[in-house]
Chains A and B, each alone.
Chain A
Amino acid sequence: MKWMAGFTKFWAYVSFGLVCGVILFLFGYVFYRGAGTISVEFLTEAPKGLVLGEEGGIFPAIIGSLFFTGTAVVLGGIPALASALYLVFYCQNKKVERLLHLVIQCISGIPSIVLGLFAYSFLVRDLNLGRCILSAGTALAIMILPFIEVRAEKAFREIPACMIQSSYALGCSRFYTITRIILPACRGELVSGIILGGCYAMGATAPMIFTGAVAYAAVPESLLSPAMALPLHLYLLLAQGATSMDTAYGTAFVMMAIILISNMLATIYARRSQKKWKRS
């Protein structure tokens, strides 16, 4: 049976090498092909030319993506933190807790395209908001709600129970305990969860195709106007054929750079607050 040990070892090393190779390839490929397109003009100008993306830059798409992401983070992040706090510090009933977990799991199971359908029917049509940042942002918010909730809940549960009870034992309220101890102690994990949630929202295309993102628009002025978004811009450039491949690679470069930087920031933040109290 010695071959099993050898085989497992071989398999583990090869698999992990493969995973690393894929990651390096994906980033390397996009950065290599896109680097030529990146310039100050590309980042700060609007698209020009007869065909989309033939000339000019992607500035409105960058700003548009920031608007979509910001809306999603605010609308999705706050209820996510609230339900995580509820589950850890308020909920006294095991059944309610289990139910809430199931609900959150189900929300995370809703495909993003279906969230787009929901936002279209409810916000774009029934509430008559039209295709706008708010409509699409709401769909994205629902998408990232469970994502942030799970991370926040995990961070809250890692705080030692006796620390929380020490605060209660001094007569301090939950509100005071949460704002003075819990949130500061988990700040790193929370910030990192929100950054990653934001990235997730920024990269999603499906929920915004028919709810707020458009092929061409100026820099948005309010949440009730439609806007361009990086992922949809990239998709449209590809869908129209091979005319604007350089712009496509440039757009992909920008998105990958944002992802890479955000992930690094998130890792650093998460590490900074990691279990200071566990050292002893």
Chain B
Amino acid sequence: MEEIMTLKHTSVSYDGKPVLKDVSMGIRKNRIMAVMGPSGCGKTTLLRSLNGLLWEEPGAKVTGEVLLHGKNIKEMSTEEVRRQVGLVFQTPSPFPFSIYKNMSYALKYYGIRDKNKMDRIVKEKLQMAGLYEEVKEELGKSALKLSGGQKQRLCIARALTVEPDILLLDEPCSALDVRSTAVIEGMLARLKETYTIVIVTHNIAQAKRIADDAAFVFEGRLVEYGEAGKLFEHPQKEETKSFLEGIYG
């Protein structure tokens, strides 16, 4: 199966302190990969290394290669990388303006001025995120007034407006209640037909529900990764087994 992104010996350190050690793995097209691990294990850093967000952080140093469609992202422009690799954060972070303006924010940046085209994309992406029906009457409403789950779906829809190939999600449900979580999980299952999804989670149940592939990160190392079914049923490594049994919580 086609690997859309490949990490080759990627290591990350902050101010000389290693956070991610020599990670090599592939991310396969149109699948959901769940990256699991106890908090502080480096899984968020792993995610951030995928779209160059670490370049913004003072003190962060990345070595090794991250390939996107076979091309090293360091040789691409920042804009190009981020356009192809979307990222949604743990805390829902809508911009402090209306729903519509949140959605058109990046579109305007990329030079789309045609109102009809913009309306169409906004509607399409909101539908994909399953938010359109709920907000179609009030697109001018401040995004800050939405509920937590709605905010997070808006952020996902917003990330989709730039037509990424890959969508990275950093514990998107950790701040949400059970129902909102279920809605988002359902949405992700639909989205994988069009996009490739990498989701960081420390929630094993969630990973089991949605993941096609799974990876386990522990103390900055990629312990093992592969098909989700296999990894959950027959973990190869002792650490993975302990984690799945809930020892690291």
List A residues at the B interface (Cβ < 8 Å): 91-94, 160, 162-163, 165-173, 176, 180-181, 184-185, 276-277, 279-280
Contact = CB atoms under 8 A, between A and B. Distances in A.
B82 A279 contact: no
Contacts of A167: 95, 105
B13 to A, nearest CB: 15
B56 A166 contact: no
A176 B78 CA distance: 14
Contacts of A166: 87-89, 93, 95, 155, 158
Question: Interface range on chain B: under 10, 10 to 19, 20 to 34, or 35 or more?
Answer: 35 or more
Given A169-B87, A169-B159, A185 B109 contact: no
B121 to A, nearest CB: 14
Given A170-B109, A171-B79, A172-B109, A165 B89 contact: yes
Nearest to A91: B58
Given A163-B95, A167-B95, A181-B95, A92 B82 contact: no
Contact of B106 (A163, A165, A171, A276): A171
A93 B89 CA distance: 25
B86 A168 contact: no
A280 B89 CA distance: 16
B159 A170 contact: yes
Interface in B91-116: 91-93, 95-97, 105-106, 109-110
A163 B56 CA distance: 14
Contacts of B81: 171
B95 A165 contact: no
Contact of A276 (B58, B59, B144, B155): B144
B202 interface: no
Contacts of A176: 109
A91 B57 CA distance: 10
B151 interface: yes
Contact of B82 (A163, A171, A276): A171
A169 B95 contact: no
Contacts of A181: 95-96
B226 interface: no
Contacts of B88: 166, 169
Given A160-B93, A162-B91, A163-B95, A170 B162 contact: yes
A264 to B, nearest CB: 25
A263 to B, nearest CB: 26
Nearest to A89: B56
A141 B111 CA distance: 38
Nearest to B161: A170
Shortest 6 CB-CB contacts between residues of A and residues of B:
A171-B82, A169-B87, A92-B58, A170-B106, A162-B93, A162-B89
A184 B158 CA distance: 19
Contacts of A173: 79, 109
30 contacts: A91-B58, A92-B58, A93-B58, A94-B59, A162-B91, A163-B96, A166-B88, A166-B89, A166-B93, A167-B95, A168-B56, A169-B51, A169-B86, A169-B88, A169-B89, A170-B159, A171-B106, A171-B109, A171-B110, A172-B109, A173-B109, A176-B109, A180-B95, A181-B95, A184-B97, A185-B96, A276-B142, A276-B144, A279-B144, A280-B148
B3 to A, nearest CB: 22
Contacts of A277: 96, 144
B83 interface: yes
A242 B159 CA distance: 71
Interface in B186-235: none
Contacts of A169: 51, 53, 82, 86-89, 159
Among A167, A172, A180, A181, residue most surrounded by chain B Cβ atoms (within 10 Å): A172
A279 B109 CA distance: 28
Given A160-B91, A169-B53, 8 more contacts: A91-B58, A94-B58, A165-B53, A166-B89, A166-B158, A170-B83, A185-B96, A280-B92
Contacts of B110: 171
Interface in B68-90: 78-83, 86-90
Nearest to A159: B96
A5 B166 CA distance: 62
B105 A170 contact: yes
Nearest to B82: A171
Nearest to B86: A169
Contacts of A163: 93, 95-96
B131 to A, nearest CB: 16
A93 B57 CA distance: 10
Contacts of B58: 91-94
A8 to B, nearest CB: 40
Given A94-B58, A171-B82, A277-B96, A180 B105 contact: yes
A92 B59 CA distance: 8
Interface string B48-74: 000101001011000000000000000
